[in-house]
Structure 1
Amino acid sequence: MTTLRLLRRRRFLPLFCTQLLNAFNDNLYKTAMVLFVVYAIYSDPDAETAFSAVASALFIAPFILLSAIAGQLADMRDKAKIIRTVKLCEIGLMSLGTIGLFLAWKGLLVNTLAIPLMLLALFLAGVQSTFLGPIKYAILPQHLRKGEVLAGTGLVEAGTYLAILLGTIIAGWIPVEAAIVLILATALVGYASSRNIPAAPALGEVEPIDWNIVRSSLALVRSAKKDRVIYLAIISISVFWMVGAILFIQFPPLAKNVIHASKEVATLFIVMFSIGIAIGSVIINQLLKGEVSARYAPASVVGMGFFIVLFYLFVRQWPADLEGSFLTVPQFLAYPLAWVLLAVLLFISIAGGIFVVPLYAFLTTRVSGDKASRTIAATNMISSTFMVGGAVLAMAMTYIGLAIAEQVLASVALCLLTSWAARKLHAEEHLPSAHFD
Structure 2
Amino acid sequence: MTTLRLLRRRRFLPLFCTQLLNAFNDNLYKTAMVLFVVYAVYSDPETETVFSAIATGLFIGPFIVVSAIAGQLADMRDKAKIIRTVKLCEIGIMTIGAAGLFLAWQDTLVHSVAVPLMLFALFLAGLQSTFLGPIKYAILPQHLRKTEVLAGTGLVEAGTYVAILFGTIIAGWIPVEAAMVAIIMTALVGYAMSRQIPAAPALGEIEPIDWNILRSSIALIRSVRKDRVVWLATLSISVFWMVGAILFIQFPPLVKNVIHANKEVATLFIVMFSIGIAIGSVVINHLLKGEVSARHAPAGVVAMGFFLVLFYVFVRQWPTGLEGPFLTVPEFLTYPLAWVLLVNLLMISVAGGIFVVPLYAFLTTRVAGNMASRTIAATNVISSSYMVFGSVLALVMTYLGISIAEQLLASVALCLITCWMARKLHAEEHLPSVHLD
How far does residue 367 in structure 1 lie from its aligned partner after superposition? 0.3
Aligned to 1:85: 85
Deviation sequence 1:138-195 (CA, Å, 0-9, x none): 0000000010000000000000000000000000000000000000000000000000
Structure 2 residue identity aligned to 1:19? Q
Q: What are the equivalent positions in structure 2 for 1:364-379 lying under 5 Å apart?
A: 364-379=364-379
User: Which position in structure 2 is the counterpart of 1:344?
Assistant: 344
CA distance in 2, matches of 1:371, 1:406: 42
Partner of 2:299: 299
> What residue identity is the alignment partner of 1:291?
E
Give the corresponding residue for 1:137. Answer: 137
Q: Report Cα offsets for 1:186-208 as digits up to 9, x if no partner.
A: 00000000000000000110000
Residues 248-294 of structure 1 show CA distances to partners (whole Å, capped at 9, x for unaligned) of 00000000000000000000000000000000000000000000000
For residues 60-84 of structure 1, what are the alpha-carbon distances to aligned partners after superposition, in whole Å with 9 as ceiling and x for unaligned? Answer: 0000000000000000000000000
Q: Distance in 1 between matches of 2:181 and 2:245?
A: 28
Within the alignment, does 1:416 sit opposite 2:416 as a pair? yes
Question: Which amino acid is 1:13 matched to?
Answer: L
1:352-363 equivalences under 5 Å are 352-363=352-363
CA deviation map 1:349-369 (0-9, x unaligned): 000000000000000000010
Q: How far apart, CA to CA, are the structure 2 residues paired with 1:53 and 1:194?
A: 31
Instruction: Quote the Cα distance in structure 1 between the aligned partners of 2:230 and 2:289.
Output: 22
Give the Cα–Cα distance (whole angstroms) in 2 for the partners of residues 212 and 120 of structure 1.
Answer: 24
CA distance in 2, matches of 1:251, 1:409: 14
Aligned partner of 1:224 in structure 2 is 224
SS at match of 1:218: helix
Indicate the SS of the match to 1:326: coil
- Find the counterpart in structure 1 of residue 389 from structure 2: 389
Match of 2:328 in 1: 328
Structure 1 gaps, min length 5: none
Counterpart in the other structure of 2:146: 146
Secondary structure of 2:133's match? helix
1:7 aligns with 7
Between the aligned partners of 1:46 and 1:224, the Cα distance in structure 2 is 39
Residue of structure 2 in register with 1:95 after alignment: 95
AA matched with 1:133: G
RMSD: 0.3
Alignment of 1:103-252 (within 5 A): 103-252=103-252
**In structure 1, what residue type is equivalent to 2:416?**
L
Number of aligned residue pairs: give it: 437
Report the alpha carbon displacement of residue 216 of structure 1 after superposing the two structures with TM: 0.2
Name the CA distance, whole Å, in 2 between partners of 1:277 and 1:294.
17
**Partner SS, residue 330 of structure 1:** helix
Equivalence for 1:283: 283
Please identify runs of 4+ aligned residues in structure 1 that moved more than 4 A: none
Match of 1:64 in 2: 64
Aligned to 2:27: 27
**Matched residue SS, 1:431:** coil
Distance 2:204 2:340 in 1: 52
- Please give the secondary structure, in 1, of the residue aligned with 2:38: helix
SS at 2:259 equivalent: coil
**Amino acid in the other structure paired with 1:232:** L
TM-score normalised to structure 2 length? 1.00
2:431 and 2:368 map into 1 onto residues whose CA distance is: 16
Listed one character per residue, the Cα deviations across residues 208-250 of structure 1 (whole Å, up to 9, x for unaligned) are 0000000000000100100000000000000000000000000
Give 2:46's aligned residue.
46
Structure 2 gap segments, 5+ residues each: none
CA displacement, residues 97-152 of structure 1 (integer Å, 9 cap, x when unaligned): 10000000000000000000000000000000000000000000000001000000
Letter aligned with residue 340 of structure 1: V
Distance 2:343 2:250 in 1: 18
- Partner Cα distance (1:409, 1:346) in 2: 18
In the alignment, the residues of structure 1 paired with residue 30 and residue 321 of structure 2 have an alpha-carbon distance, to the nearest angstrom, of 31
The one-letter code of the counterpart of 2:381 is: M
Q: Distance in 1 between matches of 2:297 and 2:382?
A: 19
The alpha-carbon deviation at position 435 of structure 1 amounts to 1.3
Query: How far is the alpha carbon of 1:321 from its aligned partner?
Result: 1.6
Number of the residue aligned with 1:309: 309
Query: How many Å separate the matches in 2 of 1:122 and 1:230?
Result: 30
Counterpart CA distance in 2 for 1:264 and 1:180 is 18
Query: Following the alignment from structure 1 to structure 2, what is the Cα–Cα distance between the partners of residues 180 and 257?
Result: 27
Please give the secondary structure, in 2, of the residue aligned with 1:258.
Answer: helix
SS in 1 for 2:384: helix
3-state SS, counterpart of residue 367 of structure 1: coil
What letter corresponds to residue 21 of structure 1 in structure 2?
A: L
Secondary structure class of the residue paired with 2:322: coil
Helix, strand or coil: the match of 1:244? helix
Query: Structure 1 CA distance, aligned partners of 2:112 and 2:267?
Result: 27
CA distance, structure 2, for counterparts of residue 25 and residue 118 of structure 1: 14
One-letter amino acid matched to 2:291: E
> CA shift at 1:48, angstroms?
0.2
Report the secondary structure of 2:83's partner residue: helix
Deviations 1:291-310 (A, max 9, x none): 00000000110110000000
Correspondence list, 1:399-414, <5 A: 399-414=399-414
